[in-house]
Amino acid sequence: MNKEVKLEDIVSLAKRRGFIYQGSEVYGGLSGTWDYGPLGVALKRNIMNLWWQMFVEDRDDMYGVDAAILMNQKVWQASGHVDTFTDPLVECSNCHARHRQDKLEDANKCPTCGQTGTFGEARAFNMMFKTNVGPVADESSISYLRPETAQGIFTNYKNVVDSFYPDLPFGIAQQGKAFRNEISPRDFVFRSREFEQMEVEYFVHPEKWEEAFEQWRKDIEVFLDKLGLPRESVEEVEVPENDRAHYSKRTIDYEFAFPHGKDELLGLAYRTDFDLGNIQRVSGKTMEYRVKGSDETFVPHVIEPSFGVERALMAVLTSAYREDEQNGEKRIYLALPEHLAPVKYAVSPLLKNKPELVEKAREVYQMLKKKYGAVMWDDNGNIGKRYRRQDEIGTPHCVVIDFQTLEDGTVTVRDRDTTEQRRVEATVLYQ
């Protein structure tokens, strides 16, 4: 990995090349929100699809759900989020800026105006976005934009058990939007107010949670390898009891060496029977699991691997970002794993004013598109410029059609990382 990656390099590349734009930019933006451009969407989907394939499709013990974002307010009362999903907020009496107390570099100094001793008592600020469902705004119509996808899984636990009656252990997976009214969104998409999670609630026999926890550590490592994150850039950090979320008896934070410093990429938590127990208590419906062929019943315990898509994407970009020199010129490229690259092949005619080259290039382009889908037609500027552009978006292969192609059907294929070019029969690429 390039050790010198700066946050501004990533932000500027992401904007310049159409990965990520500021949310509502045309109106001056909306803090903590981001919009994904054509390449950002492709990269994000590739990450999410990889996760879904590895943790749902390739396994026999996993069930996918897609629950509503708006949920009955009882969900958030029972889960403890209404009472405890808070961050400590302090306000500067000089400039009135508000900050998250536990993230201040100097607990006494306001980072906005530089004054010291201007903070009053911290107050607990609830991070859930509150809204009302329906035309009457009263207590009974209160709802929240979900701050985690997990609760949409827990509330469907019974449905999945009744429909599929799976053996324990089994998991329910969900990907989707989550919202937190962060006091200080920061570090590009790292801390946003609207983001996406990929979560599994893995239901186990209460006595077997440690085994499952250890297995998840291994599975997470495999996934992080597939994202192309160097092992040395990720560290497992055991979270001490006083820093753990209210529902957790053990948590490991996976910290990644982001450009802004080491910070949480994802979490692995042992949530005990906290959530199913609460649902059972508040709803009055049993969440007990009956072991097949026996009378043994219990409320399952839960292991929860929880991934943030934006943080995964930032870690992928950070790991892939490279600068080198080619023919005396600085080059920026993204050494993305091929399965994550938004574009797999770029196809160009050597000269765009030669109809015979364009026609042949179109033919090759169509064939590659049929095979790979994510193929880009690129005839803007000279070949050197096209290579630079494709390097910056991480396209592993650039195919150029020239006069020799018309004679013998061969094309040049240029490799993004080595910049080496080889001549191959075009048909070999798509057969």
Q: Quick one: CA torsion of 402, 407, 408, 411, rounded to 10 degrees?
A: 10
Please name the residues in contact with 420: beta carbons below 8 A apart, sequence gap of 6 or more: 414
Residue for token digits 């976005």? 129
223 binds ligand GAP (CB under 6 A): no
Q: Which is nearer to ligand GAP, 199 or 391 (CB)?
A: 199
**Stretch of residues binding ligand GAP (CB under 6 A), selected from 66-74, 91-99, 223-231, 308-316:** 308-316
199 binds ligand GAP (CB under 6 A): yes
Q: Which is nearer to ligand GAP, 234 or 358 (CB)?
A: 234
Minimum distance of ligand GAP from residue 228's CB (angstroms): 17
Burial of 52 (0-12, 13-18, 19+ CB in 10 A): middle
Q: Quick one: CA torsion of 83, 206, 198, 57, rounded to 10 degrees?
A: -160
Let me know: does 23 contact 33? Beta carbons within 8 Å: yes
Quick one: which of 166, 308, 349, 394 contacts ligand GAP (CB under 6 A)?
Answer: 308
Beta 345-349 vs 375-377: how paired, if at all?
parallel
**Stretch of residues binding ligand GAP (CB under 6 A), selected from 164-172, 187-195, 374-382, 417-425:** 187-195
192 binds ligand GAP (CB under 6 A): yes
Minimum distance of ligand GAP from residue 309's CB (angstroms): 8
Quick one: which of 154, 195, 203, 258 contacts ligand GAP (CB under 6 A)?
Answer: 195
Quick one: which of 180, 344, 397, 416 contacts ligand GAP (CB under 6 A)?
Answer: 180
Q: Which is nearer to ligand GAP, 100 or 180 (CB)?
A: 180
Q: Which is nearer to ligand GAP, 182 or 391 (CB)?
A: 182
Burial of 97 (0-12, 13-18, 19+ CB in 10 A): middle
Quick one: which of 99, 152, 173, 182 contacts ligand GAP (CB under 6 A)?
Answer: 182
150 binds ligand GAP (CB under 6 A): yes
Of the candidates 165, 1, 161, 176, the one whose C-alpha atom is nearest the C-alpha of residue 71 is 176
39 binds ligand GAP (CB under 6 A): no
Residue ranges of alpha helices (H) inside 288-396 are 309-320, 355-372, 383-392
Let me know: does 302 contact 275? Beta carbons within 8 Å: yes
311 binds ligand GAP (CB under 6 A): yes
Let me know: does 254 contact 267? Beta carbons within 8 Å: yes
Quick one: which of 78, 266, 343, 413 contacts ligand GAP (CB under 6 A)?
Answer: 266
Q: How many residues bind ligand GAP (CB under 6 A)?
A: 18
Quick one: which of 87, 273, 310, 402 contacts ligand GAP (CB under 6 A)?
Answer: 310
Give the three-state DSSP class for 156: coil
Quick one: which of 46, 118, 197, 278 contacts ligand GAP (CB under 6 A)?
Answer: 197
Residue for token digits 């600020």? 125
Minimum distance of ligand GAP from residue 20's CB (angstroms): 13
Q: 34: how many CB neighbours lie within 10 A of its CB?
A: 23
Q: Which residues bind ligand GAP (CB under 6 A)?
A: 148, 150, 180, 182, 191-192, 195, 197, 199, 264, 266-267, 304, 306-308, 310-311
